[in-house]
Each structure stands twice: as C-alpha cells, then as structure tokens.
Amino acid sequence: MMHRMATGLALVLLALSQSAVPALAQSEVDVYQGFFPYEVHRRTLDNGLDVLVIPMPEFKDVLSYNTLVMAGARDEIEPGKSGLAHLFEHILFRHRFEGEVNGYDEAIGKMGAFNNAYTWFDITYYHPTTFTSNLEELAKLEAERFQNLDITEKIFKTEAGAVMGEYRNGAADPGLRMSEVRLKAMYGDYGYGHTTIGYLEDVEDMPNEYEAARKFYDDYYRPNNCVLLVAGDVEPEEIFALALDQYADWKPRDKPDPGEAPPVNGPKREHVNWATDVPPRVQVSYRMAAHATGTKATAVGQLLPELLTGDTAPLYQKLRSEKQTCSSVYLGNAQYESFGPGPFVLGATLFKDKYEEKGEPMLDEVIADMDTAIEELKNFSQMPGASETLESLKSKYQYDMLSGINSPADAAENFYWYYRFEKDIDVFDQMVESVKALTLADIEAFARETFVPENRVVVTLTHTPEEDAR
C-alpha cells in the first residue's frame, strides 16, 4: 500500500516536471535542414547552454556525446599561466565521480567508450563515443565533470607532471619549436603568442598553480561558454529532456575578455638551430583577419589551401616537381579559423641532400618561390585560366566540406567547428554561399590587404651540430 502510494506520487511529480519545467527552462526547438547532410536540432537552456542534436539513425545504437568548451590558448591571458586550457583537457579525465579516485575513468571504461579530447587556440573539445544503451549514464558522468569537477591538489600535481612529459615528447619535434618562435614573433603576449601546451617555464611551474587552475575552471566551464552536441542514433526530444535534467542548474558567468592582438610590426625573420639531424624547414606566415562567417575574407581563406598547395597549384608543382626542392608543402586553414586574428602558415620541408649541396641560399630560394605564389594572388585575374581555376576550386570546396563526415563523431566535430563562431544553425549554407559568390577581384583584394610586410613573419629551421646550437 505504501509502495503504491509512493509510486503514484512520483508519477504526479514526473508529470508536473515534464509539463511545467521545459517551457520555462529552454528555448523552442530550431531545426536546420540544408547543405549539411544531416538535420540539426537545437534548444538553448535558460543558462545559455546550447544543446545540438544531430540524428543519424543509420549508425545504429551508436552515439557521440560532445562538449565544446570555448577556452583555449587565447584565454590564457595571465602572465605565467599559459597551458591551463590544455591542462584541463587532462584533468577532466581524473574527475572523482561519486567521490571515487578514478571514478570517472573507470565508469566510462565500463561502457567500452572511445573517449578523448583536444585543445586548440580557442577551444577544448571532449568527445566520447559509445552505445546508445549508455546514454543516461554517460550524460550523468559528463554533466558532473563539467559542472562539479572533483579533484584533489595531489591529483592536480600528478596530472601537471604528466603534461611536462608531454612537453618533453613534443620538444623532440622541430615543429613545436618553430610554432613557438613564430607565434611569439607574431602575437607577443596575446594568447595566440604561445602554443596550446604553454611556455616551457609555465609548464614546469604548473604543479604549483592549483589555485589558478581552479579559477580557470570556474571562469570558463560555464553553460554560456559551452555547447553540447549529441550525434548518432538518438531522438532530439530525449536528448533535450536529458540535458534539462542534467544541466539546468549549471550557473552561467561571463568569461574574462581575452583582449586584442597587438600589431605584428613585421616583417620579421627568425631562425631556429636544431641539434638533431632533420631536414630544413621554412614557414612564411601572415596574420589573417578573425574568422567571420559570410565575409569575403573568410570565404577566400577557405580556398587558400587548395589555391597555394593543392596538387595542381603552381607553387606545389614548382617545389615538388619542377625544382624538386621540397618533400612537402602545406597550408592548413584550421590555423586561422579562429575567434581572433589567426596565422596563415605556408610551410615546406626541404630535401636534405639538396640542401647539403646548395647550403643556406636554398632557404631563400624556397621563400622566394613561396613569395612569388603569394604575390601572384594580388593579380590573380592575370593568371592563365584564372576563372576556370576559381570555379573548380569552388566545387571542390563544397565536395571536400562534406567528404570528411563519415560517423556521428565526424558530424558533431565538423558542425561545431563553424557553428561556434556566430552560433548560426545554418552556418554551413552561409559558408558555401559566400565561397560560391567569390570573384577573381575578391581574391586580389584579399591578397593585397593581407599579404603585406607589416603582417609577415618568416621562420626557418636547419640542423646545426650541438656545439653551435642555442
């Protein structure tokens, strides 16, 4: 009898909570259908947490549960405190779920989840993938570590030490050192002036920064600074109900202002002497404008990697085939798809044997070839076949934009990457439309404005025997 009554009461409460609460605590649902190959459903909780659901029923019983935190190197504004965003990428896995040491890690391990995270200039992204049967338990685990992280100072120190190990491993790669030198020259003390792992001296000091780290979590791990994206074999309404249940009490807070990037005051040129015997490298970089969906500058940025380093690009042909000076030529747009003015980095790795023959003038030769390619963009309409090139790049762009989406995890990641800028649910259509609308004159105008000496930093790296290295 008592049991029956209690059940009846619970049912009444449940009915109340379902009818009364949702209308108050979250927005209406927006449903997107367009160029992106899946529907996206969105609700925003009253505390500012965007909840996005990408139903992909063909991936039966699988879901990807993703939390985007808008905290990265750019937000590490306090001197001596670089690397905190990345440190949290580690620390969050050490959450004492239900007070148990390694509680989070063990609980998620039992789900057979693939669980990882990464940090970049502006963001930290957590992306476990598991079976839909684990959805409720996973939501509880994730909600808890983002809202009520439970770690001790001892756990913190251990993890900070692990990051030092990661720095040492990374330091074996000349790429990290080149990035450090380039970013410092380009951005100075602004957050983009260091890599996501942080300055060496800050990483060394990290075990002593428990209080600063707590403050970082408090400032940035807030619903209005996060996006929850669930993709896979899920129903939007079930996810919205879960999100309301798990995240509605999370208190919003405005995050600190990361400030403005100072001017580069270029041109600058830096050289790195490298003690181990590696092929020489060259990077020509320019500060770009911040990403702004729909603008011409951002649309041109989408085409630059193909335009300069695609298989048919004149520069690629020259360095790889005609002169055979370089084993690789690269330009990645993820570098400059940023909240702030990110870097355009045109890089190349030189053939070692050729360099041993020709010596240092070969660095200048490669830089000159890169400069020629960049300069040609300023008069792009004069290039033979320019119109045809532009049209084929536009269609390749649309094709490439969707070709990487092969799983719920891919869908969520691709979507958030552009969604985060303006939080427009039809961002993919805006990107495609703005690229389609580009003219030859737009490319020229962009190149003339961006590729100027004031914005320029060149970094070279060559092997120098130990005794001469810095």
User: Which residue, 58 or 166, has its beta carbon nearer to Zn ion?
Assistant: 166
Q: Taking Cα atoms as reference points, which of 344, 342, 304, 311 lies closest to residue 328?
A: 311
What one-character DSSP code corresponds to residue 45?
B
Nearer to Zn ion, 34 or 170 (CB): 170
d(CA 187, CA 240): 41
Burial class (CB in 10 A: 0-12, 13-18, 19+), 14: exposed
User: Closer to Zn ion at the Cβ: 106 or 166?
Assistant: 166
Nearest residue (CB) to Zn ion, 120 versus 250: 120
In the structure encoding, which two tokens stand for residue 215, read together?
């403050």
In the complex with Zn ion, the residue whose CB is nearer, 41 or 194, is: 194
Q: Which stretches within 207-317 are classed as H helix?
A: 210-220, 236-247, 296-309, 314-316
Q: Residue 329 in 3-state DSSP?
A: strand
CB of 72 to Zn ion, least distance (A): 13
The nearest distance, CB 94 to Zn ion, in angstroms, is 13
The nearest distance, CB 197 to Zn ion, in angstroms, is 7
* Minimum CB distance to Zn ion, residue 396 (Å): 34
Closest CB to Zn ion among residues 88, 418 = 88
**Spatial CA neighbour of 427 closest among 446, 414, 437:** 414
Buried b (16+ CB within 10 A) or exposed e, 211-243: ebbeebbebbbbbbbbbbbbbbbbebeebbbbb
Task: Find, among 180, 88, 73, 59, the residue nearest to 461 by Cα.
Answer: 180
Residue closer to Zn ion, measured from CB, 109 or 165: 165
How near is the Cβ of 166 to Zn ion at its closest, in Å?
Answer: 5
Instruction: Pick out residues in 325-364 that bind Zn ion (CB under 5 A).
Output: none
Nearer to Zn ion by Cβ, of 163 and 183: the residue is 163
Least distance in angstroms from the C-beta of 196 to Zn ion: 8
Q: Which is nearer to Zn ion, 170 or 294 (CB)?
A: 170
Tokens 């003339």 -> residue? 448
| CB nearer Zn ion, residue 74 or residue 291 | 74
- Return the structure tokens found at 355: 């360099």
Residue whose CB is nearest to Zn ion in the complex, by number? 166
Name the nearest CA neighbour of 67 among 82, 49, 55, 54. 49
Tell which positions 163-182 bind Zn ion, by CB under 5 A.
166
Q: Segment 195-214, which members bind Zn ion (CB under 5 A)?
A: none
Nearest approach in angstroms of CB 260 to Zn ion is 28
Q: How far is the CB of 123 from Zn ion (least distance, A)?
A: 14
Q: What is the spatial distance between Cα 326 and Cα 282, in angstroms, rounded to a whole number?
A: 10
The CA distances from residue 19 to 30, 44, 364, in Å, are: 20, 18, 70
Nearest distance in Å: CB 349, Zn ion = 25
Instruction: Give the pairing type, strands 456-463 and 268-274.
Output: parallel
Closest approach of Zn ion to the CB of residue 155, in Å: 16
- Residues 129-168: x/- map of binding to Zn ion (CB under 5 A)? -------------------------------------x--
Peptide bond into 279 cis (omega under 30): no
- Interface with Zn ion (CB under 5 A), residue total 1
Q: Which residues pair with 43 in a beta bridge?
A: 51
Where on the chain is the footprint of Zn ion (CB under 5 A)?
A: 166
